[in-house]
Amino acid sequence: MNQGIKAISPGLQLTSGGQLKHFLTIDGLGRDLLTEILDTADSFIEVGERRIKKVPLLRGRTVVNLFFEPSTRTRSTFELAAKRLSADVLNLDISKSATSKGESLSDTLLNLEAMASDMFVVRHAQSGAAHFIARSVTPGVAIINAGDGRHAHPTQAMLDMLTIRQHKERFEGLRVAIVGDILHSRVARSQVNALLTLGAEEVRLVGPATLMPAAANQLGVKLCTTMEEGLAETDVIIMLRLQKERMESGLLPSEREFFKLYGLTREKLALAKPDAIVMHPGPINRGVEIESAVADGPQSVILSQVTNGIALRMAVMSMAMSGQLAERAAAQHGGAA
């Protein structure tokens, strides 16, 4: 996991009153705020079941999806979330944008801000990109991190927490195994932070030593190199995607060998508790990380994760905009005084 991003000051993503104004990382956020995000997401789930799936919380606001990396699931759920909050949504095609023609990121942002944008949803290959943008934009513009390098993917982690809470009701006493390519996973670090903050009893990172980050033993988790040790008596199993596009040669003998040792099969699933749930942030490599009988089986909640992604992102976007408005009001009040 990337250790190059220093802990950010709470003032960067929180207002002076402790409200969310950006959502960049779970590092440094307290249990009460994470629980508020989950509770708010819970309240938005029924919006997706309405005939007209909209609430007016972001009416008149403009949300720009800035995806510098390819994405289908994350970008789609952010777009749907913004539209269900009644925002105007601009999806910037980076492959045809000015940045591909040499314009700097800062100049691109200045131009988008000049179009009266209220929120940027940012995915970028460089760790820290969302933090850089949050420090650069005009006050009042909210930044949501949709995944930066190997660093963080906070909304994915929180939709995973929402799914776990739906099925297990609480985090206290839970043993959670996160399995696979920990080294390249920005999701894993955010999941660990969220699980430990919310009170999980034990978090295990399971995978070959070559796919385990050097600083993993500083995260307050248990490291396991075998599925037998990692899955025993677990309540939740989170399988990770093997990120071959980020992988250097030599980290794996072969995908076949990886599946034999770390792929989740019905036999390995039996090591966990009988009511354990199986999760995967997607996209799934069937037969590499997980066999189809498990991915589509009765203990899988993978599609629930996708559904919850919309409600969770609605919660984060509405809370960040509310925080920005509160800070703007406080600044105006302070200026008037």
Tell me, yes or no, whether 281 lies in a domain: yes
- Is the pLDDT confidence value at 125 over 90? no
Q: How much is the average pLDDT of 113-135?
A: 91
Examine the domain organization and report whether 76 and 175 are in the same domain.
no
Examine the domain organization and report whether 161 and 133 are in the same domain.
no
- Tens-digit pLDDT profile for residues 75-85: 999 999 999 99
What is the spatial distance between Cα 84 and Cα 77, in angstroms, rounded to a whole number? Answer: 10
Tell me, yes or no, whether 2 lies in a domain: no
- Is the pLDDT confidence value at 59 over 50? yes
What is the residue-averaged pLDDT of the chain? 90
Tell me, yes or no, whether 38 lies in a domain: yes
Q: How confident is the model at residue 102 (pLDDT cuts 50, 70, 90)?
A: low
Q: How confident is the model at residue 14 (pLDDT cuts 50, 70, 90)?
A: very high
Examine the domain organization and report whether 34 and 145 are in the same domain.
yes
Examine the domain organization and report whether 317 and 288 are in the same domain.
no
% of the chain at pLDDT higher than 70:
91
Q: Which domain holds residue 129?
A: 11-152+307-326
DSSP H stretches of helix in the chain: 10-13, 31-44, 73-84, 105-113, 129-136, 154-168, 186-198, 227-231, 255-262, 266-269, 292-295, 302-336
- Does the pTM exceed 0.85? yes
pLDDT on residue 240? 95
- Is the pLDDT confidence value at 104 over 50? yes
Examine the domain organization and report whether 278 and 313 are in the same domain.
no
Q: How confident is the model at residue 99 (pLDDT cuts 50, 70, 90)?
A: low
- Residues annotated within the binding site for L-aspartate are 101, 186, 241
pLDDT on residue 4? 45
Tell me, yes or no, whether 268 lies in a domain: yes
- Residues annotated within the binding site for carbamoyl phosphate are 73-74, 123, 153, 156, 282-283
- Tens-digit pLDDT profile for residues 258-304: 999 999 999 999 999 999 999 999 889 899 999 999 999 999 999 99
What is the spatial distance between Cα 17 and Cα 4, in angstroms, rounded to a whole number? Answer: 29
Domain count, the chain: 2
- Residues annotated within the binding site are 73-74, 101, 123, 153, 156, 186, 241, 282-283
What is the spatial distance between Cα 241 and Cα 211, in angstroms, rounded to a whole number? Answer: 12
pLDDT on residue 312? 98
Examine the domain organization and report whether 113 and 221 are in the same domain.
no
Examine the domain organization and report whether 79 and 193 are in the same domain.
no
